[in-house]
Amino acid sequence: MGRDCKTFRIKYPPGETWFYTFDPKNLQAVLATQFQDFQQPAARVGAFEALLGLGIFSANGPKWEHSRALLRPQFMREQIADLGLFETHVKDLFDALPGAVESGDWTPTFDMQPLLECFTMDTATEFLFGESVHNQKGDSTDTSTLFSKKEMMQFVEAFFGAEKTTARSMIYGDLFWLMHDRKFKEQCKAFITSLIWTGKYVVLDAIVADVKDPQELRSQLLNILLAGSDTISGTLGLLLASLAQYPHIFKKLRNIIIDDFGSFDRPKQITLSRLKNCSYLQWFLNEVLRVYPSVPVHSREAVRDTTLPVGGGSDGISPVFIPKGHLVAWQTQNFEALMLNASIQNDGRGANLDSTTSHSTLALEYVSDNDSPLLRLPMSQSGSCKSSTQLMDQPCRKGDCPVIGNW
């Protein structure tokens, strides 16, 4: 029997080498203590740059730090508390659903994902520019004082098309440019420029004082638009699929939401703080993100010859040499069980595990793709964890957790 291996190397043709790790100490090194030794992979930056320019998802070093410092304040709690913005587009989403043949009957079977993509595009563009593209409204009515409905749809189609080409090009690694054909390049130039200087702005207003170059402003906004539309629509789709798969959870969650927030016809006051305090809703959302993370596999490229703290040698506790240009990758889902026995101190980039955290705190906490994907599972003094297994109304005791098994 070999030892439990949490860090290993895989060689891919035609000569590319990846190091995979599932050890929290190594991830702490990549994202915190040895952060300067690693960067976003050059192939990923190249694949993203044609569409997004240089922003938080497609830059390294000082440019990445600048983007992070510029955008992070825009997502503070008080900046996203305007639930009225979402209410309008949720109503448009309901209107876009196909109606039942008879009153009170079920709707016909249909594909929900395109509707969710339109919904998140509408909310993201209004949050960013102060003017929604109203992609969910299928008619030709002009909803903007600045652009016609046709121009709005051209923007949406160009963005979705270029986004999908970018995603496919990343599969090719260093050969990403093979997918960047003339149509793709035209799509990348077809939007945003006119929106930058003429809209009723929200996020744009907040960052325009620090960014005077139109090209940089375009890049910053497109990076947020990508995060605010594509990943959220995917998560919403998986959330609805999970509710369909577990009807007992759907029934309990629905009853709790009606009790706390009222029905559609008789709503009660809904605020961001009340949503955050709805524990069962938070457990469900966190469980969806745990099982179906928006970015399940992360990687960083070594910018110089460096090491990972553990995983080498016959005993697995010696450092692992990482040559310059090689990639270190990890899967988000695998870290929950590993983090339970780790004690990683937070220095501003990573996360920590607090074995004395009260049950009243949330079970899982996530941070953005360019910070640490580590999560923490709070524990009580007695060793009982407040994990999302509470969705199943099952006890979760140290050593026997229904979700993560024996730990």
**104: Cβ contacts below 8 Å, ≥ 6 apart:** none
Q: What is the pLDDT of residues 79-99, one digit of tens each?
A: 566 787 788 888 889 888 887
Q: Evaluate if residue 378 carries a pLDDT over 60.
A: no
pLDDT of residue 328: 95
Q: Tell me what the mean pLDDT of segment 193-216 comes to.
A: 61
Least confident of 108-112, 125-129, 296-300: 125-129
Q: Evaluate if residue 208 carries a pLDDT over 50.
A: yes
Both tokens assigned to 14: 């035609």
Q: Evaluate if residue 240 carries a pLDDT over 90.
A: yes
Quick check: helix, strand or coil at residue 301?
strand
pLDDT of residue 175: 87
Q: Which residues of 153-163 are buried (b: 16+ CB within 10 A; e: fewer)?
A: eebbebbbbbb
Per-residue pLDDT band at 256 (split at 50, 70, 90): very high
Both tokens assigned to 268: 């009660």
How much is the mean pLDDT over the chain? Answer: 74
**Angle of helix 247-261 versus helix 214-245 axis, rounded to 10:** 110
Q: Which residue has the higher pLDDT, 395 or 289?
A: 289
Alpha-carbon distance of 353 to 342, in angstroms, equals: 7
**301: Cβ contacts below 8 Å, ≥ 6 apart:** 38, 39, 40, 41, 42, 325, 326, 327, 328
Q: What is the pLDDT of residues 274-304, one digit of tens each?
A: 888 999 999 999 889 888 888 888 899 999 9
Alpha-carbon distance of 297 to 100, in angstroms, equals: 40
Q: Evaluate if residue 401 carries a pLDDT over 50.
A: no
Q: Evaluate if residue 153 carries a pLDDT over 70.
A: yes
Alpha-carbon distance of 144 to 154, in angstroms, equals: 14
Q: Evaluate if residue 335 carries a pLDDT over 60.
A: no
Q: Which residue has the higher pLDDT, 247 or 374?
A: 247
Is the distance from CB of 185 to CB of 49 less than 8 angstroms?
no
What is the share, in percent, of the chain residues with pLDDT greater than 70? 71
Q: Evaluate if residue 362 carries a pLDDT over 60.
A: no
Both tokens assigned to 22: 């599932």
- Residue at 34: amino acid letter: Q
pLDDT of residue 103: 72
**43: Cβ contacts below 8 Å, ≥ 6 apart:** 170, 173, 174, 176
Return the top range by mean pLDDT from 112-116, 134-138, 402-406.
Answer: 112-116
pTM of the model: 0.72
Q: Tell me what the mean pLDDT of segment 63-75 comes to.
A: 78
Both tokens assigned to 206: 């907040």
- Residue at 141: amino acid letter: T
Per-residue pLDDT band at 313 (split at 50, 70, 90): confident
Per-residue pLDDT band at 225 (split at 50, 70, 90): confident
pLDDT of residue 209: 67
Q: Evaluate if residue 31 carries a pLDDT over 50.
A: yes
